[in-house]
Structure 1
Amino acid sequence: MVDLALFLFVMALLALSLKRPFLAVLAYLYVDIVAPQKISWHLLASIPISLITFLAAFGLWLVADDKADSRLTLRQGLLLALLAYCGATTLTADFPVEAADKWAWVWKALLFAIFLPLTLRTRLRIEAAALFMVLSAGSIAITGGIKTALTGGGYNALTFFVQDNSGLYEGSIISCVAIAIIPLILWLARHGTIYPRGILVRIFATALIFACLLIPVGTQARTGLLCIGLLGVLMLRSVRHRLLYLGGALALALVAVPFLPASFTKRMDTIENHEADQSASTRLAVWKWTLDYVKDHPLGGGFDAYRSNRLVIETRSAQSSGSQTEVETRTVTDQARAYHSSYFEMLGEQGWPGLALWLWLQVSGLWQMERLRRRWGRRAAAEGAGPQVQWQAPLANALQQAQLIYLLGAAFVGIAFQPFILMLIGLQCALWSYLKRLDEPARPLRPDRVAPVPVPVHAAR
């Protein structure tokens, strides 16, 4: 039944897109995030559904959709430049076969991020895309949240829809993304127009946020705990009663600590004492190796260049017995360890030019969302618009918070080209382009194109 339901849902979206081409874009968002072909065991698994929805989204937009207000932005240009540069480094990669495997999905993620803003020409479309993204990622979070509440989860032990450790089904990645979408959940609950707002929407949004907060507990990903901390700080800027918010957050943390699994608190302790944790020590060793690598390869080594590393890691752990403390030192050798950081991933694979393009893309997004937040916030205050009417600044704020949470998580997880995050960038580009178009004054006609005013006969006499 699950297999049939997934198949019928995707086919229904594609069928409806023949009349409403934009629905094919939503179908691709769902397929790329949830990957129902992995959940299915026959119907969707037997056809290239991701490729089909990808081609349908592009093809129907090109043939049947209105493109009157579609325009390219600077950040889409940066994405295009990054796409071209990554293609060039793939041709000269240190490991051509492995690089080609990664390029096979990276180019599609980058191209769709460039394409997505061209289809989001109205508020309704922007909101629909945000809703599909949140609900698609939220479906994974709900599954993980329920399992965490029932079993407590565990490091590399929490499974979602499928036994998979790639994409959003990887523990650290879904922990980062689950926390990043919380600002968007709040925005949709407060300003969504696709569904009637009410008590049921608020209950569902609250439950979904709770499930998202449980994901770092269930996966025991330290990245997720750091993202929760950053989210708590970022929320201070948008809440009305900050003292009440701080008091409630502190009380909630104190109440939640006794219910946390012992394995979770033990793993979180390694954040402070990283020298005793081999995983953390390995990351530091890989980052140091990457800095040495780009001295000889300033243009990068292409995708999966980390496979050439050889590491010697020294871990130290202190054990106290009475008044004496014994320090145990252990040396471990390792090789072909991944970067575990998007910043070093970009540096090692794409060199300094690629890292500069990627950072430019991220920083410009933060700057654009801040400009929108301030401009539309001041405009709403001047016009006396209520919080339900004024949706532009809150959405810019939510997208900015989501990006900041991603950038923190990206420091410890190699998700520089994560498709979901590139979709968020596409949403930012669409919002920037749409609101800029609303701000543009009507263009005056050129003097040579002004129609002559007819002169009445009696006036001529």
Structure 2
Amino acid sequence: MRDVVITLLVLAALPYIFRRPSFGVVMWIWMGVMNPHTQGWGFAREFPFAAIIAVTTVAAMATDPRRRYRLALNPVTITFLLFVAWMALTSAFAIHADQVGGQLVKVMKIMGMTLVVLLLLRKRVHVEWLVWAVVVSIGYYGVKGGLFTLRSGGQYRVWGPIGTFIDGNNEIALALVMTIPLMLYLHGLVAHRWGRRALLAAMVLCALASLASYSRGAAIAMALMLGALWIKSRNKALTGVLLACCVPVALLFMPAQWHDRIDTIDQYQDDMSAMGRINAWHMAFNLANDRPLGGGFEIYDADVFERYAPVPEDVHAAHSIYFQVLGEHGWVGLALYLALGFFTWRTGTAIIRQAAPFADLAWAGHLARMIQVSLLGFLAGGTFLSLAYFDVPYYLMAALVATRTIVERERLVLLPARGKNPLAPDDDVAGNPDEELRHDPA
């Protein structure tokens, strides 16, 4: 029955996507992040729903007679394109060039659709659709996992959906940490009180589910995220009181075995898993020093570890977004990856600064703050996980780029009229927002 429902939903959405390509972003994120077809038991599990949605979205863009889709060139988009091109180059010269095809295709699909998202996000409603899609897609597992944690008393671990980026306990925990700030942003948009209460409950359940993953990295990311959430919040007193009340209760709720697990953070020398990660980090470091292009994808095997790891027989995945990129794409790849994160963060800071004087743009400043908090959680938790190609951070990057464009456009309208503003964008290049609103019902 689940397979039939999911299939009908996707098929029903295709005509709507063809009419409004921006809705394809919602469907793509729902299918690619939540992976609802994995919750079925039959044919839907292997059906290429994501590919169908992607093809429909791109076809709708190609046949849309109303406007031309142009990529805004700025430090974020330029660095993103350079990073994608560099990954293609390192794949051509990979250690196992005959084996990287599958991973290369997977990564390029994510990057390609990120580019489509960058092209399609043009208005506030599009950005908020993206945020809702991410929150619903990951929040579903957070609410489900939080209820499971309450029922079991935290005795059992929470896991993510099988066969996805977030199938492991560590991965789902980090995804939930990233989702909580986005829920807080949406909480300010919902007018109905029960809707607001539902979002608050979802945030609590997501936090419990993240703790119940027994992920030490996620616990560190959670602590940093909550600290940043307090710093970035508009009402620090209220946020501080809520955190002071909720955090101790959540920690006391978790069983002794959870505390024993977290207490091993400062005893990593006695933890085989932690030492295996450090061995993999050394391997990536040595490989990058030996090969300027890195090793490419698929480097985590006995042959590579024999050549570059201090303990050759201890073969592990990278378990770090930074060492993953370093080992696979070399120092240049890591520099591009870090630069992409830096410019994305600076974009959020610019939004906050530019939106501050205008009440009508308060939403943009709040969104930028919450996305920064979300990305900070990813950057912290990603230190211990191989999630360099996890799609959600790239979608949040696109949301910030689009929001800055919207803010800069709206500022021209909100500033006092002084005749024709010489700084106004040319309609042929940037598009006339009034014309867009008349012709685009989305």
Distance 1:47 1:403, change over 3 A: same
Distance 1:444 1:437, change over 3 A: closer
Distance 1:276 1:99 in 2: 34
Displacement, 1:445? 12
Displacement, 1:289? 2.3
Q: Which among 299, 302, 309 is matched to residue 305 of structure 2?
A: 309
Q: Does 2:394 correspond to 1:414?
A: no
Aligned residue runs from structure 1 range 12-411, under 5 A:
12-64=12-64, 66-67=66-67, 70-74=70-74, 75-152=76-153, 157-160=157-160, 162=161, 164=162, 166-191=164-189, 197-239=191-233, 242=236, 245-307=239-301, 308-310=304-306, 334-377=313-356, 379-380=357-358, 385=359, 390-411=362-383
Displacement, 1:7? 1.8
Normalised by the size of structure 2, how large is the TM-score? 0.86
Distance 1:269 1:152 in 2: 19
- Larger fraction in helix: 2
Distance 1:434 1:345, change over 3 A: same
Distance 1:159 1:180, change over 3 A: closer
Distance 1:359 1:312, change over 3 A: closer
Displacement, 1:245? 4.0
CA contact (8 A) 1:71 1:433 kept: no
CA contact (8 A) 2:94 2:297 kept: yes
User: Which of 1 and 2 has greater Rg?
Assistant: 1
The percent identity for this pair of structures is: 24
CA contact (8 A) 1:18 1:60 kept: yes
CA contact (8 A) 1:80 1:111 kept: no
* SS of match in other structure, 2:19: coil
* SS of match in other structure, 1:81: helix
Tell me which amino acid in the other structure corresponds to 1:139: Y
Displacement, 1:443? 5.4
CA contact (8 A) 1:14 1:27 kept: no
Tell me which amino acid in the other structure corresponds to 2:194: L
CA contact (8 A) 2:322 2:388 kept: yes
Normalised by the size of structure 1, how large is the TM-score? 0.83
Displacement, 1:410? 1.3
Tell me which amino acid in the other structure corresponds to 2:224: L
Distance 1:445 1:372 in 2: 18
Displacement, 1:147? 1.9
Choose 32-41 or 345-354, whichever is displaced more.
32-41
Distance 1:191 1:244 in 2: 18
Displacement, 1:391? 0.7
Displacement, 1:411? 0.9
1:276-331 C-alpha deviation (Å, 9 max, x unpaired): 11111111222122222222112201012232114566xxxxxxxxxxxxxxxxxx
- Larger fraction in strand: 1
CA contact (8 A) 1:341 1:415 kept: yes
Q: How many corresponding residue pairs?
A: 413
CA contact (8 A) 1:306 1:348 kept: no
Displacement, 1:71? 3.2
CA contact (8 A) 2:3 2:37 kept: no
Question: Could you tell me which residue of structure 2 aligns to residue 321 of structure 1?
Answer: none
1:343-397 C-alpha deviation (Å, 9 max, x unpaired): 01111100011111111100001111011112211x13xxxx38xx721110111
Runs of at least 5 residues in structure 1 that lack an aligned partner in the other structure: 314-332, 447-461
Tell me which amino acid in the other structure corresponds to 1:167: F
CA contact (8 A) 1:78 1:361 kept: yes
